[in-house]
Amino acid sequence: MREWISGLGIKALNFFIYIGGTFNLMVSTIFQVFVLPFRKKEWVIQMYKVGVLSFPIVFLVAFFTGMVLALQSAYQLTKMNAQMYISSLVALSMLRELGPVLTALVIAGRVGASITAELGTMKVSEQIDALRTLAANPVKYLVVPRFLALCIMLPLLTAYADFVGIVGGYIIGVYKLLIGSTIYWKMTFDTLAFKDLFTGLFKSFIFAIIICIVSCYEGFITEGGAEGVGKATTRSVVISFILIIAADCLFTALFYFIFP
């Protein structure tokens, strides 16, 4: 019993240490964003890695998600002769939930894992310690460019995914279910409001912060050589996934139920 309580206490202590470490890293990163020099060239490089290289996989995920969503909703709506509402369902689902969440999960798996592996390798090979000995701030040098790149590119990728998903639903609606093209687009835009777009983009901004901070923090605390890098990368992706879904639930409740 004593060992069980002791183990539970150690886990709780490690949990709060982790929360404190990630919060401290986030505050330090936001502060360093406004400290000279800005290193714009590194920002552009990271934006290319985060955004441009992610366009193909985001396109595939969003396009097929829109198609599947239209097919699944058509299965029920055709029974009620309500096929015209498929466009509204696809558009609202993509802008409010599926676009931001699926894009964030893709980026967490692709970019977040890459960030953790890169920083973790630098940590175990003592390159981060070398930066400190050269009076270079690792947060300013390594985290800030990735933070800004994610915060800029993830909302853009989300907007891109929203559009691609709607086009995927359009293809099914018009060419499979024989809904008129004009009616489809009219029902799509008549249903949408600015709030739907804003909430999706705002959530994607929060997801970008989560992905960057968790990935960089896991990289900074990596230990144990190559095996440790692998474990840190796995933890980074798993924790990012959980926090993204939890944050999505929280902000959906805030925007549509608590402060509608």
Global pTM exceeds 0.75: yes
Q: Which of 147, 172, 209, 154 is nearest to 65 (CA)?
A: 172
Examine residue 208 and state whether it is found in any structural domain, yes or no.
Answer: yes
- The percent helix, strand, coil of the chain (3-state, each to 5) is 90, 0, 10
Q: What is the pLDDT of residues 235-255, one digit of tens each?
A: 999 999 999 999 999 999 988
Residue 52 is assigned to a structural domain of this protein: yes
Q: Which domain holds residue 177?
A: 42-258
Which pLDDT tens digit goes with each residue over 37-88? 878 888 899 999 998 999 999 999 999 999 999 998 888 877 777 777 888 8
Question: Cβ contacts of residue 241 below 8 Å, gap of 6+?
Answer: 105, 108
Domain assignment of residue 15, yes or no: no
Residue written as token pair 């933070």:
147
Residue spans of alpha helices (H) in the chain = 2-33, 40-50, 55-77, 86-93, 99-107, 113-124, 127-133, 138, 144-171, 181-191, 194-220, 225-253
Whether 25 is in a domain gets the answer no
C-alpha to C-alpha distance for 42 and 167, rounded to whole angstroms:
34
| Residue 95 included in any domain | yes
In a domain, 31, yes or no: no
- In this prediction, residue 251 carries a pLDDT of 92
Asked if residue 209 belongs to a domain, the reply is: yes
Sign of CA pseudo-dihedral 175, 67, 184, 154 = negative
Say yes or no to pLDDT of 231 above 70. yes
Per-residue pLDDT tens digits for 10-47: 888 888 888 998 999 999 999 988 888 878 888 899 99
Structural domain includes residue 29:
no
Q: How many residues does the chain have?
A: 260
* The two three-digit tokens of residue 233, written as one number: 């990368």
Share of residues in the chain with pLDDT > 70 (%): 99
Residue 25 to residue 209: CA distance in whole angstroms: 11
Could you give the CA distance from residue 99 to residue 86 in angstroms, rounded to a whole number?
A: 17
pLDDT score of 130: 86
What is the reported pLDDT for 194?
87
CB contact at 8 A, 215 and 110: no
> How much is the average pLDDT of 210-232?
90
Model confidence at 260, in pLDDT bands (50, 70, 90)?
low
Domain total for the chain?
A: 1
